[in-house]
Structure 1
Amino acid sequence: MSLCVTFLGTGGAVPTTQRNTSSVFVRREGDRFLFDCGEGTQRQMMRFGTGFAVDEMFVTHLHGDHVLGIPGLLQTMDFNEREAPITLHVPVGTQPDIDRLISATGTDPSFPVHIDPVTDGDVAYEADDYEIRAFETDHDARSVGYVLIEEKRKGRFHRDRAEELGVPVGPKFQQLHAGESVELEDGTVVEPEQVVGDPRPGRRLVYTGDTRPSDRTIEVSENADLLIHDATFAADNAGRAGQTAHTTAARAAELANEAGVKQLALVHVSSRYAGNVSPIEREAREVFEGERAFVPDDGDEIEVPFPE
C-alpha cells in the first residue's frame, strides 16, 4: 500500500527560480490529494508528473502563496473536461473568501466544486482504512494543518505456528488472518490469536502549513512517520520568525523530537536561503533525533514506509 509525497512547492511567500510557493501532492494508492496550491502549482504538477487528477484539496490558510494557484488549476481541470466533483477543505470562516477568489477570475467550472469549512479535530476526509483530520495551528490568519492517519494493520500471520497446529495450507490461513476461528478435521479449534501477531500501527503523515511551534502540532505528530513543518528561517532570524508567526529549523526539530517523529521535512523556506539551504538543514540536523531531517527540493518525491 503505497504512500508517496511529491513536494511541488517548498519556498516561502516569495517564489524564487529554485523554489515555488507552497504545495504538496500526496498519493495513497489510487487516492490523490493536494495540500495548498500556491501560484504556479499546476505548472509544477506538469513538470513533476503528478497530473491534475486530484480527488480532494486541503487548504491551510488563505495567504496568497498558499491559494493563488486554485483558480488556474480549476480552470485547467475544466479545460480537460473533468466531470468528477472536487472538495476544497478550508479553515472555518474562510469559505466566503475562497468563493470570491474563484469567482473573481471568472472561473465557473462545469464540474461540482464543494467547499468544506473545517476546524480543529474535524475529519475532513474519511476512507475505509484511513482518515485526514484538521488540527489547529498558530499562524497570523485563520489556519489549520492536516494529519493523515491510517488504521492499525493486521498482525503478522505466523505460518509456521499454523502448520505446527495442523492447519492445512489454503483458505483456513486466510480465515485465521481475518480474525476467524477454524475447526480442523479432528475437531480441534484454532483461534486467530494463536497464529496471528499483535496489530501493527499504520502510518501517520502531518502537514502543518505556516505556523509557530505549538503543543497541538506535537500532539497530532506523535510517532509520525513524516512531519512536513514550516521552517521559514534559520536561527539568525529567530526574532523575525516569531513576529511573522513562523518557525525556525531548530525549533521545528525540537518539536519533532518531542513528538517522536521519524522523518522531518522542512518547507516554506524563506527566499533569503533559496540559493543555500544548508543553514536550515544543518541547524535541524544538529537537534533532530529521528531518522532524517531534510529540506526537500521542488520535485522531490519520497515514499513513506510502514513502521516496522
Structure 2
Amino acid sequence: MPLRVTFLGTAGAIPTTARNPSSVFVAREGEGLLFDAGEGTQRQMMRFGTGFSISNLFVTHLHGDHVLGIPGLLQTMAFNDRDAPLAIHTPRGTRTQLKSLVNALGNRPSFPVRINEVGGGDVPYRAEEYQVRAFDTDHDTRSVGYALVEDDRKGRFDRECAEELGVPVGPKFSRLHKGEAVELEDGTVVDPDQVVGDPRPGRSIVYTGDTRPAQATIEVAEEPDLLIHDATFADDRADRATDTAHSTARQAAEIANRAGADRLALMHLSSRYAGHTADHEEQAREAFAGDPADAFVPDDGQGLEIPYPDGE
C-alpha cells in the first residue's frame, strides 16, 4: 500500500526563489492529507502534481508562513467545484483565528469546512488502518505537531504449515488469517496462532512544524520511518534558534536518534541559508546515528516513498 510524502514548501518564515513556505502533502492509498499551508501552497500542489483531493488539513500553528495559503487553497478548491467536506485541525485556542482566515475573502467556502481544535495527546483523525496523533511542541505560540501512525498489520500466514495441519485450501485459510479458529472434518481445531506469525509493524511519519527540541516528539511514535523536523538554523545560529523557539539541524538529528527514526528530513530553513544547505546536512549527519544519507534537506517538490519496515 503506497505511502508517499511530497515536500511542497521547505522554507522558513521568508520564502526564497527556490523554497516555498511550509507545507507537506502525504498520500496514502488514494487519500490526501496536508500538513500546514504556507502562502502559495495551491500553486505548489499544481506544480508538483499532488492534486487537491485532501480530506484533512493539519495546522501546526498560526504563524503566517504556515497558514497564509489557506484562503487561496480553499478558493481554488471551490473553483474546482469541490463539494466534499474538509476538516481543518488547529491547536487548541486558535479556532476563532482560523475561522477568520477561512472567511478572509468575505464569504464562506462553497463546501463544508469543519474546524477542530486539538492538543497534545489527541487523535484528531482516525482512519480504518491508521491514525493521526497530535503532540505538544515547544514554539513561541500555541502549537502542536502531528504523527501519522499506521496500525500493526496481520502476521504472515504460513500456508505450508496450515496444509500440514490438514486445513483445506480455501475459505478456512482466510478465516485463520483473520484471527478465527477453524474446525477440520475430523473435529480437530486449528487456532490462528498455529499458522499466523506475530503482527508486523506499520509505518509512521512525524511532522513537528516549528519547535525547539521537545520530548513529545520522541514519544509520539515508536521508531518512526520518517521524522520531518524543524531545522531553521545551523550551528552558527544555535543561540538564535533557542531565542526564537526553533531548532538547529544538529538538534534535529539528536531528536531523531532518541526517537529511533530511520530517516530525517530537515525543514523550515531560514532564508539566510538560501542556496546553501551543505552545513545543515553536514551537521545533521555528524550527529545522526543512522546512514548519513538518510539525514537530508529536501527540495521543494521532492517526493519520498515510505516502505514497510520489513520491506513488504
Q: Which bracket does the TM-score occupy, shorter chain normalised?
A: over 0.9
Over the matched positions of the two proteins, sequence identity in percent amounts to: 67
Structure-2 change in CA distance of 1:266 and 1:107 (3 Å): farther
Q: Which residue of 2 aligns with 1:265?
A: 265
Question: Which ranges in structure 2 are unaligned for 5 or more consecutive residues?
Answer: none
Q: Which runs of 4+ in 1 moved over 3 A?
A: none
Give the partner amino acid of 1:101: L
Contact 2:149–2:221 (CA<8 Å) still a contact in 1? no
Shift of 1:103: 2.3
Q: Is the deviation greater in 104-113 or in 15-24?
A: 104-113
Q: Which residue of 2 aligns with 1:307?
A: 309
Output the CA distance in 2 between the equivalents of 1:281 and 1:224. Answer: 20
Shift of 1:298: 0.5
* Aligned 1:268-279 pairs, distance under 5 A: 268-279=268-279
Q: Secondary structure at the match of 2:242?
A: helix
Give the partner amino acid of 1:305: P
Output the CA distance in 1 between the equivalents of 2:272 and 2:230. Answer: 15
Alignment TM-score, normalising by the size of structure 2: 0.96
* Aligned 1:1-308 pairs, distance under 5 A: 1-291=1-291, 292-308=294-310
Output the CA distance in 2 between the equivalents of 1:10 and 1:297. Answer: 7
Contact 1:221–1:261 (CA<8 Å) still a contact in 2? no
Q: Secondary structure at the match of 1:205?
A: strand
Give the partner amino acid of 2:229: H
1:2-49 deviation digits (Å, cap 9, x = unpaired)? 111110001111101111000000111122111000001000000000
Give the partner amino acid of 1:36: D
Output the CA distance in 1 between the equivalents of 2:280 and 2:256. Answer: 15
Output the CA distance in 1 between the equivalents of 2:158 and 2:118. Answer: 43
Contact 2:103–2:109 (CA<8 Å) still a contact in 1? no
Contact 2:121–2:134 (CA<8 Å) still a contact in 1? yes
User: Over the residues paired in the alignment, what is the CA RMSD in angstroms?
Assistant: 1.1
Shift of 1:257: 0.4
Give the partner amino acid of 1:38: G
Give the partner amino acid of 1:108: R
Output the CA distance in 2 between the equivalents of 1:107 and 1:293. Answer: 44
Give the partner amino acid of 1:85: P
Output the CA distance in 1 between the equivalents of 2:199 and 2:63. Answer: 41
Alignment TM-score, normalising by the size of structure 1: 0.97
Contact 1:70–1:102 (CA<8 Å) still a contact in 2? yes
Output the CA distance in 2 between the equivalents of 1:122 and 1:107. Answer: 31
Question: Which ranges in structure 1 are unaligned for 5 or more consecutive residues?
Answer: none
Shift of 1:189: 1.7
Contact 1:232–1:241 (CA<8 Å) still a contact in 2? yes
Give the partner amino acid of 2:104: A
Give the partner amino acid of 1:275: G
Output the CA distance in 1 between the equivalents of 2:177 and 2:217. Answer: 35
Shift of 1:216: 1.1
1:107-137 deviation digits (Å, cap 9, x = unpaired)? 4211111111111111111112211111110
Output the CA distance in 2 between the equivalents of 1:13 and 1:169. Answer: 60
Give the partner amino acid of 1:161: C
